[in-house]
Homo-oligomer: A and B are copies of this chain.
Amino acid sequence: MSPLKAVTPDGTFVTGPGTTERLLTPGEVARIFGVDPKTVNRWALTGRIPSVRTPSRQRRYRESDINALLNAG
């Protein structure tokens, strides 16, 4: 997995050659999978999904991680 690397002028990530992505909120991930946001929280706690932590301890999820799970499920 590519490390999160700051940063392009528009604030997106460079995760690979010519590849940028953004971070998703727990609620967004929840809607994608059709589950409760609390469930997404537990996925992160149990290591089913990697998560990025904000300085205030909230979680954000990398688009590429979510897509990988969607294509693997």
Contact present for B70 and A4 (CB under 8 Å): yes
**Minimal Cβ-Cβ distance residue in B for A69:** B55
**Minimal Cβ-Cβ distance residue in B for A4:** B70
What is the oligomeric copy number? 2
Chain B residues whose C-beta falls within 8 Å of the C-beta of A12 in the assembled complex: 31
Bound state CA distance, A56 and B49, in angstroms?
10
What are 25 A-B pairs at a CB distance below 8 A?
A4-B32, A6-B63, A7-B28, A7-B31, A7-B63, A7-B66, A9-B28, A10-B31, A11-B27, A11-B28, A11-B31, A13-B32, A23-B33, A25-B34, A33-B52, A33-B60, A34-B54, A35-B54, A39-B56, A48-B55, A48-B56, A49-B55, A52-B70, A52-B73, A53-B72
